[in-house]
Every structure is written in structure tokens, then in C-alpha cells.
């Protein structure tokens, strides 16, 4: 007997997909007074004072490029702009973390997407099969396929199981189409993070 097809209503877990590649943050506005430009982002940017970020997509182009920032709030920061460019700039503007004030690359993990999914611990038989191929897989996750980003192995999932106070951080080992609904859902092979 085959399992019933999975439906979107079965995806009851909030999963945060993390990547080591900095993710572009949408900018909703930039305003300039003299040489100080104030940026407002659509969501919390996660930047710190002195970080370097790269702006792209602004017209005029004087607002684009890598700049040092001063954080003024969770969705705002300022930077210095040269010349007297028109304010506010137009375009689809993004800000991407480049480095911190010492040239470091930050935490190394950035939120790519938060998606609804389901998590299933592997059975004892499945765990033995995974161990036979030297795998640390301990869960199978299912997510809706039409998420805005590509999900690849070696990304991570941050997940707070029901009843837990702290999130579990798990590594994605494999990504493939779901057996019953390959055009709608992805299956993730997920395991404990192994220290290097």
C-alpha cells in the first residue's frame, strides 16, 4: 500500500534555510541629506556598525558600490555618498554584506529563506542504511518546491521542534524531488552538523 500524497497542509514546521553566501537584502528607500544617505530595508538587515555592504540597482549609480555603514536600527543604516546625486534614487535596490570592519566575512551563515516543511526522523533501519554509506543523515525533510531560492547540499536548516526551547541546526546532505509529488515538493536529506 502506498502512502497518501503529501499536501501543503502537512507542512507544519518552520524551517530556516541557511547558506554561507551573503544574501541580498531588499532596500525600500534611500534618502540623502548633504553627504549622508539613510537606507531603509524591507526586513531586518542583520548588519553591524562598520560593516561594508555593496549596494546595487540604484539610479543614479552614485549610490551603488561598496560602502562602510553606521547602523541606526534593525532596518536602517547610513553611509556617506560622494557628490550631489538626485535623491531619492530609483530602481530595484539591494544591499549585500561584504565584510566587517576588519575585513572578516562575518558569522559565515546567512538566512536564505524561511519555509514551511515537515521533518521526519529516520527509522532504525534507515539509520543503519545511512551509516553503511558513512552518512550522518538523521532526518528527512519535505518542503514546498516553489521557494524563491535554490537549496543545495551543505546548506543548513535551523529548526525548533515542538516542545524544544532552542533550535536544532542540521546540515543538508541531499536535495531531490519528492517521491509522490515531484513537481510540488522537495525532499531534503538532513543530518547533525559534524564538527570539522
Does residue 132 lie within any of the structural domains?
Answer: yes
| 132 plus 92 within the same structural domain | no
| 29 plus 83 within the same structural domain | yes
With vertex at residue 23, the alpha carbon angle to CA 18 and CA 27, rounded to the nearest 5 degrees, is 135
Peptide bond into 88 cis (omega under 30): yes
* Distance of alpha carbon 166 from alpha carbon 30, whole angstroms: 36
Q: What is the pLDDT of residues 7-62, one digit of tens each?
A: 545 668 888 888 888 889 999 999 999 999 999 999 888 888 999 999 999 999 99
Q: For the chain, how many structural domains are there in total?
A: 2
Residue ending a domain, among 99, 122, 150, is: 99
Cα–Cα distance list, 24 to 46, 134, 182 (Å): 11, 35, 29
Residue ending a domain, among 46, 75, 99, is: 99
Does residue 131 lie within any of the structural domains?
Answer: yes
Does residue 184 lie within any of the structural domains?
Answer: yes
Neighbouring CB atoms inside 10 A of 183's CB total 8
Is the pTM higher than 0.95? Answer: no
The candidate with the shortest Cα–Cα distance to 78, out of 117, 41, 106, is 41
Residue ending a domain, among 42, 76, 99, is: 99
Segments forming the whole domain that contains residue 59: 25-99
Q: What is the pLDDT of residues 173-189, one digit of tens each?
A: 888 888 887 777 888 88
| 127 plus 73 within the same structural domain | no
Q: Rounded mean pLDDT of 103-132?
A: 77
- CATH number for 36: 2.40.30.180
Confidence band, pLDDT 50/70/90 cuts, at residue 78: very high
- 57-74 exposure pattern, b = at least 16 Cβ within 10 A, e = fewer: bbeeebbbeebebbbeee
Sign of the CA dihedral with 135 first, then 138, 142, and 147 last: negative
Does residue 2 lie within any of the structural domains?
Answer: no
- CATH number for 166: 2.40.10.270
| 66 plus 137 within the same structural domain | no
Amino acid at each position: 500500500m502506498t502512502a497518501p500524497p503529501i499536501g501543503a497542509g502537512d507542512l507544519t514546521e518552520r524551517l530556516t534555510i541557511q547558506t554561507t553566501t551573503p544574501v541580498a537584502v531588499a532596500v525600500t528607500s534611500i534618502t540623502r541629506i548633504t553627504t549622508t544617505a539613510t537606507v531603509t530595508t524591507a526586513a531586518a538587515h542583520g548588519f553591524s556598525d562598520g560593516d561594508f555592504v555593496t549596494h546595487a540597482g540604484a539610479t543614479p549609480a552614485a549610490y551603488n558600490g561598496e560602502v562602510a555603514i553606521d547602523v541606526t536600527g534593525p532596518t536602517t543604516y547610513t553611509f556617506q555618498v560622494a557628490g550631489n546625486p538626485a535623491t531619492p534614487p530609483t530602481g530595484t535596490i539591494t544591499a549585500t554584506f561584504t565584510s566587517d570592519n576588519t575585513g572578516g566575512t562575518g558569522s559565515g551563515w546567512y538566512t536564505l529563506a524561511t519555509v514551511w516543511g515537515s521533518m521526519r526522523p529516520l527509522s532504525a533501519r534507515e539509520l543503519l542504511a545511512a551509516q553503511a554509506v558513512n552518512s550522518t543523515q538523521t532526518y528527512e525533510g519535505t518542503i514546498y518546491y516553489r521557494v524563491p531560492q535554490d537549496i543545495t547540499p551543505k546548506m543548513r536548516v535551523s529548526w525548533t521542534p515542538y516542545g524544544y526551547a532552542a533550535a536544532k541546526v542540521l546540515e543538508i546532505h541531499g536535495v531531490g524531488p519528492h517521491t509522490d509529488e515531484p513537481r510540488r515538493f522537495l525532499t531534503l536529506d538532513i543530518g547533525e552538523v559534524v564538527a570539522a
